[in-house]
Chain A
Amino acid sequence: MDPKTLRYTKSHEWIAADGTVGISDHAQHEITDVVFVEPPKVGRAVKAEEACAVVESVKAAFDIYAPVAGAVAAVNDEAAKNPAIVNQSPYEKGWLFKIQMTSPADREKLMTAEQYAAFVKTGAH
């Protein structure tokens, strides 16, 4: 995934046009070494901003929120088996789950890569 084409949430998830969701490079850096990923169940209906996955570092657990409403269409079992890929490849191998979006227009309301970069810079998180 090209980070420039993704949309971002204030809670540092990204979502691609096809509904794939992961965490930003900034987020993986802040979380530090990821040692555990708990993906949502496939088929689960999620609301926007609903906590639906967990990513843990050695020191702490972080909730991952659904960027938009929809149903979980797929999860990345590889990230659950080898959580370090979330650090190593947050936009490619380290994706977390895929959402069948209720309304793809919802995604357009999220931050663009530029807006997200500015958001991170201001430290407003």
Chain B
Amino acid sequence: MTATPQRTPFFVFHQEARARIVEFAGWEMPIQFEGILAEHQAVRQRAGLFDISHMAQIWVTGPGARSTLDRLVTNDVSALKDNRGLYALLCREDGGVVDDLYIYRLESGRYLVIANASRARADWAWLQAHLGPETELAEQPQAAALALQGPRAAAILKELLPNAVKMQKNDVAEWLVLGREMVVARTGYTGEDGFEFFGPAEHVLPFHQALIKAGAPHGLVPCGLGARDTLRLEMGYRLYGNDLDEGHSALESGLGWAVKLGKTDFIGRAALLKEKEQGSRRRMIAFRLKERGVPRHGHEILLGGNPVGAATSGTFSPSLGGGIGLGYVDNVLFPPAAEKTNALSLRIYERPLAAEIATLPFYRKTTLTGVN
């Protein structure tokens, strides 16, 4: 991408906090403040605050909004009640994944869709091209968004927004926060309790300052995309562009729980039904290294020394103290029945490092640091 990168409304704050800034999906974003490991632990043990303003906020409204969305995504939008959110995939006709989304229903005919920054343009074009009757699309003006994540998140928010802490996981509501309207959801991408806030910059900016102040006694720290990535991967959450793309189907990606083949027809349903009947060519696996090392995107997955796939995400897991990752493997070369064998390895540093299949999430609250 050669165009000048965009800056979020919090960019000046990141600079003042001496964050390391990187370009991500056309945005200048903080990769870390104090350090990825420290930020990761802060979110697991206390709380962290993420700028997620790079994510696309798309309002889908009108009497036809529900059926438009139901025709477009894999999950069951018609089952979504007011003030609830769900995860869903946007698929091509062949079942390949255009993007993964969060869809919030504020009320009948009023949905807020959160999409990946890297897919903002592609999604917008796809939604426009497949818009049903009586449906309107609108970008959030001056979009800003924050994620407050960690076991202390509710205690921090309670001081500013007492009603919000009554929300359940996946609840969403529009609240007046410091006198300005904002969408507040009890969701996140870290595996911890937490909240996400969406709205125009002039509404979210003063709230950001208030949150930092309220969070200080609780040990709240600003967090960058680096910790966001290690936190999400410990939960096995997919990252679009790494683990999901148009070349892999929604079923191959292991997200079948978000694909409701029994609901009303949607784009990609026929191909996914066929794939389900005939079996997928590939599947996503989660693996853990049994030796020291850090798996990365692109590293070969080997079974008995032979390549059977490649890692799509990999990192050093701060909570587990070792290498973890996700990747696609060929179902013929590596049948699910072979998952119990000891022959799995990852080619890292030009040699195979022993690995084993892991069940997701990699990290659970009871997991002890340093124990594999």
Which residue numbers of A lie inside 8 Å of B, CB to CB?
32-33, 35-36, 38, 54, 56-59, 61, 80
Q: B31 near A59 (CB under 8 angstroms)?
A: yes
Q: B293 near A36 (CB under 8 angstroms)?
A: yes
Which chain B positions have C-beta within 8 A of A38? 293, 349
Q: Which of A32, A33, A38, A58 has the most CB of B within 10 A?
A: A58
Which chain A positions have C-beta within 8 A of B38? 33
Chain B residues 309-325 with CB under 8 Å of chain A are 315-316, 318
Which chain B positions have C-beta within 8 A of A59? 31, 36, 226
B271 to nearest A CB, angstroms? 36
A-B contact pairs, 7 of them (CB 8 A): A32-B35, A33-B37, A33-B38, A35-B316, A36-B294, A58-B36, A58-B226
* Count of chain B residues with a beta carbon within 8 Å of a chain A beta carbon: 17
Interface majority SS (helix, strand, loop, mixed), chain A: strand
| Known contacts A58-B230, A59-B31, A61-B296; A32/B36 CB under 8 A | yes
| Known contacts A36-B316, A54-B349; A61/B294 CB under 8 A | yes
User: Could you tell me the distance between the alpha carbons of A56 and B299 in the complex, rounded to whole angstroms?
Assistant: 15
The 10 closest A-B pairs by CB, nearest first: A35-B316, A58-B36, A33-B37, A56-B294, A36-B294, A33-B35, A58-B316, A33-B36, A59-B226, A38-B349
A59 closest partner in B (C-beta):
B226
Instruction: Tell me if B32 counts as interface (CB < 8 A to partner A).
Output: yes
Which chain A positions have C-beta within 8 A of B226? 58-59
Which chain A positions have C-beta within 8 A of B32? 32
Instruction: Tell me if B292 counts as interface (CB < 8 A to partner A).
Output: yes
A84 closest partner in B (C-beta):
B37
Which chain B positions have C-beta within 8 A of A80? 292
Taking A36-B294, A61-B294 as given, write out 15 further A-B residue pairs in contact, using a Cβ cutoff of 8 Å, ordered by the A residue number.
Answer: A32-B35, A33-B35, A33-B36, A35-B37, A35-B294, A35-B316, A35-B318, A56-B294, A56-B316, A57-B36, A58-B226, A58-B316, A58-B318, A59-B36, A80-B292
Chain B residues 32-68 with CB under 8 Å of chain A are 32, 35-38
User: Could you tell me the distance between the alpha carbons of A58 and B349 in the complex, rounded to whole angstroms?
Assistant: 16
Which chain A positions have C-beta within 8 A of B349? 38, 54
Type the 1/0 row for B284-297, where 1 means its CB is closer than 8 Å to any CB of A: 00000000111010
User: Could you tell me the distance between the alpha carbons of A110 and B204 in the complex, rounded to whole angstroms?
Assistant: 53
Which chain B positions have C-beta within 8 A of A57? 36
Which chain A positions have C-beta within 8 A of B230? 58
Which chain A positions have C-beta within 8 A of B292? 36, 80
Q: Which of A36, A38, A80 has the most CB of B within 10 A?
A: A36
User: Could you tell me the distance between the alpha carbons of A57 and B226 in the complex, rounded to whole angstroms?
Assistant: 11
A31 to nearest B CB, angstroms? 11
Which chain A positions have C-beta within 8 A of B20? 32
